[in-house]
Every structure is written in structure tokens, then in C-alpha cells.
Amino acid sequence: MDFKSFGFSDIGKTHELNEDSYLRCDKEGLFVVADGMGGHVSGERASQLAVETVEAFVTRSRSESIDNFDEYRKDLSTEQNRLLAATRVANRRIREEADKNPATRGMGTTLLALSWKIGTWRW
């Protein structure tokens, strides 16, 4: 099945800075949306880090085994575990960056990710 996606972000009426980041990768079947926490320091940086980290982890891990990754859950599929692990790695990366720079302490983001692994979908 072939499909195409699109992405759009709007700053809204109440904010001065757009803290959204997103990834749409039709080829990989990976879609990620992160919304930096408005009113918190460096929300835009946190959302950017989250998207970049999830993309890098998912892309890299598709050619490697992740069943020995910390907290691999046998009740989840490989793709579900991949996204769960990617989210944990992104969280750690954001926390590490926030801890090393007092100006970014407290930064955060929401994260939503969808992996549509090509070739595994059945009607």
C-alpha cells in the first residue's frame, strides 16, 4: 500500500514562539509530533530533541536487534517495543541536556509517535 502524508504546525493565538516539532517520513512509515511545554523554558528545544532522537533510534534499530534493550516487553510487538524504547531514549536525552545547562532546567515536551511498518499491515 502506498500513502502520502502532510504536516502542519500553527503557533496559535496565545504564544509568541512555536514550540512544535514533527517528523513525517513516508518511506520509513514513521510519524512523530512533539509539542514543547508552553510556558516552560526551552520547550522548542525539548520537542526538537524528542523528534530527532526518536527518528534516529527507530531508523537505526530497524537494522539491529532491540530485544535486549532495557525493559523489553514480551507482551508488545517488536515495533511497539521499538517506539517505547525510542521514547525512553528521548526522555533521557532531554533530561541530560536539561541537567547540564541551568538555562534549560525544567524543559519538557509532549510526544506522540506512530510507526507504520511497511509490509506488515493487513486488511
Select, from the ranges 44-48, 68-72, 79-83, 114-118, the one with the highest average predicted confidence (pLDDT). 44-48
Contacts 24+ apart (CB under 8 A), 13-17: 14/38, 17/44
pLDDT in tens, 7-52: 666 666 666 666 789 898 887 889 999 998 866 678 889 999 999 9
pLDDT in tens, 73-108: 889 888 888 899 999 999 999 999 999 988 888 899
The Cα–Cα gap between 114 and 31 comes to: 5
- Go through the domains of the chain in sequence order and give each one's CATH number: 20-115 (3.60.40.10)
Burial 65-102 (b: 16+ CB within 10 A, else e): ebeebeeeeeeeeeeebbbbbbbebbbebbeebbeeee
SS3 of residue 56 by DSSP: helix
Q: CA distances (Å), 35 to each of 15, 18, 97, in order? A: 12, 9, 17
Non-local (6+) Cβ contacts of 87 within 8 A are 54, 111, 113
The Cα–Cα gap between 28 and 17 comes to: 30
Non-local (6+) Cβ contacts of 50 within 8 A are 21, 32, 34, 90, 94, 109, 111
Tell me the pTM. 0.81
